[in-house]
Structure 1
């Protein structure tokens, strides 16, 4: 199944996308695509979708596309999870997953503007496979068990400010990751039964020019290993978002200029819906 949330910020309506591409109103099943729904509501949504009980949402095509999950309780991120990206960052491949956090309020829609903080000079793009947790996960023992706790997958843009990340953070990274709007997500949440997370092409463009083009098969730590590993250190809740790392081709490499107001990012992952597109604007003061 494929889920979206449509409408203005804070007023999004949950929909499920059928085989014909129609956006069907999911409000008879749930108020939102949140942790409670992901943990308990997927069977009812599937039953209503297959039975034809859901009606198209009137005016859906004209509505803003929000993030396909309501604000998660946590956004957990894995750093340097592609060998080529670690190399372009002048770092050896990590021996264990590197964890940092983004504030949940960084999550915005896939076509919303991204705000450049005042004085920021090193804003960067990062296309990533996002993992959405569907069952409470704690102390998992195996990769298979980890996969059973995943509700689905999303396209995620881990926007970063590299000066804040490297020079302002005292050894941590989160200061460079937590500016408002710094995590566009979507447009769709695709349920885990439809996705092979280790065989997805992911790519990015800036102002129409190619930047990243890689595959999740090049991950150092697989999705299953990431979820299993994290569950040994923290309890993952339904609706939590995990960003699983970005491949080579970012501005940090020195091969491309950093982003400025007026630039346009496009990022996509094959099989997870249409590409994202964000325009960079100056943050309102």
Structure 2
């Protein structure tokens, strides 16, 4: 069952009964899900408040606006308590995220075994879930998650955990430049923007983790999912021409598929050639 690479406490974990072993990874998944729910709830609000304070600071420097009238909203209470009163609480979604995280934990434990590779996979998986939900809610892919995760992917691949380091570096560059080029071609001919710069960085992140060869599979799966979901939405209600549509959730979904089941496109191309 377990394919051991880069062992992590192998002598202890491999000797555990199967039920205990998967329960351990399920608990890690539960912890990951709790962190995801916390991040989804507070991070967008923190970012928005930071932008507002920066804007008011700029106003203050130009027309002496007193920004204390804004910062006093939270009073002496902690920032998190203030945010708690201003953010929505969706119990159903939180429960779905927790269940999904537990399932992901057991799947990662089955695929990677008790290895450092599994720890890297769990970090990536729960970060991708976080990015998907935040992007769906706000059309925002926070740099505070995307950029560190890109570097973590490159560091993981120093040990060839998911691909070789040269392939990962090329993947980071190809992932960004491919969507960047598509963006500018679309803007040149259609005179409007097609996607956000966060999507470029997310594609670069996935390239850093899985290598440039896996990007063909990732872009294909993401595009097909986007077409399918758009079609379902259009059947229920016509979409407005300029309605914003987040592409990040489809990229993250394709990244999770690649993480759990590998890069089948590359394997098929190698067999065909």
Q: TM-score, normalised to structure 2's length?
A: 0.25
Task: Tell me which protein shows more helix as a share of its residues.
Answer: 2
In our comparison, the structure showing a higher alpha carbon Rg is: 2
The structure, 1 or 2, with the larger RCO (C-alpha pairs under 8 Å, 6+ apart) is: 1
Task: Tell me which protein shows more strand as a share of its residues.
Answer: 1
Q: TM-score, normalised to structure 1's length?
A: 0.24
